[in-house]
Amino acid sequence: MDMKSISDYSSLIETAIAGSIYSSLKPASLYEPIAYGLQKGGKRLRPVILLITAEAFGTPAPQAMPQALGIEMFHNFTLLHDDVMDRSSLRRGRPTVCTKWDDNTAILSGDTMLTLATRLISQTSDQRLRPVLDIFNTMAIEVYEGQRLDMDFEERENVSVSEYIEMIGKKTGALLGASARIGAVIAGAPGADAALMYDFGMELGLAFQIQDDLLDTFGDPATFGKPIGGDILNNKKTFLTTSLMEKCDADAGALADAMKMPASELKIRVVKGIYEKAGIPAECRKDIAAHSKKALKALRSTSLPEADRRLLEHLVEKLIDRSR
């Protein structure tokens, strides 16, 4: 494997996205929001995992680029729709598509991104097409199921930690798992290795989402890319809320009362104080470490030589220490 850094793979993806022609397609009112949504795309975590995995199993990154772009396109399609449902005004430090344009534009441009994603994912050999599409379509349904559960949880007072983990496994873990598995499949990896790479991505996705929950409340707004406390203001169920509510103690009662407060900076401060008093940030870090350990165990169970695993191991370490 030609050793690259994580930033090398990110640069490959950024170059490919910059070279796309979506901003020049007509009607501009449909395609400009797509180009806008793909710009400043965060960590490009999912396509990076796909490309690293493909190269680790012997397929050069350029050959896997259509699938990497397809995964990134799908991810950004979900963000356009999520922002409409969550009434989010900022994404990655910029106005969301539904804010910059309107809800209808975000929905229609998002629908178009889903079709473009499927077209990109399908650009593989006839031999690989069916298994790749099966992985992609199974993942997509799971993501939709996860989003529905997330919405349902907003209407419930109590959600268990196990229910929450199931939801983020579908909404976040499945996409990272599919990214790694597709990378393995298009490279012709043995079935057992491809399945282990899915497990790697799933566990990494769980760690990633719990870390995101923690950062949404305790992160630095200068580096996080969106206002801190959004989950609190929107009464969203997170790993923090479900962990505390399961305790059924005075802190859980205080949280339930605080969540009824009007959306304000005061509400954010009160809820943060309750979490800190109950030791919830430490519980989050413990579970982030546990899921990261499971991800590494799956990765190290593959037939990949240690040298070819090293970059993926570094990616895990980098993600659990992130500030955004």
Partner residues linked to 95 by β-bridges: 90
Over residues 260-319, the pLDDT tens digits come to 999 999 999 999 999 999 999 999 999 999 999 999 999 999 999 998 899 999 999 988
Q: Decide: 95 and 157 in contact? Cβ < 8 Å.
A: no
Query: What is the structure's pLDDT at 222?
Result: 76
pLDDT of residue 319: 86
HEC string for the chain:
CCCCCHHHHHHHHHHHHHCCCHHHCCCHHHHHHHHHHHCCCCCCHHHHHHHHHHHHCCCCHHHHHHHHHHHHHHHHHHHHHHHHHHCCCEECCEECHHHHCCHHHHHHHHHHHHHHHHHHHCCCCHHHHHHHHHHHHHHHHHHHHHHHHHHHHCCCCCCCHHHHHHHHHHHHHHHHHHHHHHHHHHCCCCHHHHHHHHHHHHHHHHHHHHHHHHHHHHCCHHHHCCCCCHHHHCCCCCHHHHHHHCCCCHHHHHHHHHCCCCCCHHHHHHHHHHHHHHCHHHHHHHHHHHHHHHHHHHHHCCCCCHHHHHHHHHHHHHHHCCCC
Q: What is the pLDDT of residue 3?
A: 58
CB atoms within 10 A of CB 230: 18
Residue type, 116: L
What is the structure's pLDDT at 214?
Answer: 97
Structural domains of the chain, with CATH: 6-320 (1.10.600.10)
Residue ranges of the chain whose pLDDT lies below 50? 1
**In this predicted structure, what is the pLDDT of residue 324?**
62
- Which residues have C-beta within 8 Å of that of residue 129, sequence separation ≥ 6? 122
Q: What is the pLDDT of residue 269?
A: 96
Q: pLDDT by residue (tens digit) across 33-65? A: 999 999 876 789 999 999 999 999 999 999 999
Residue linked to tokens 């954010």: 268
Residue 28, burial from CB neighbour count under 10 angstroms (0-12, 13-18, 19+): exposed
Q: Give pLDDT, residue 220.
A: 85
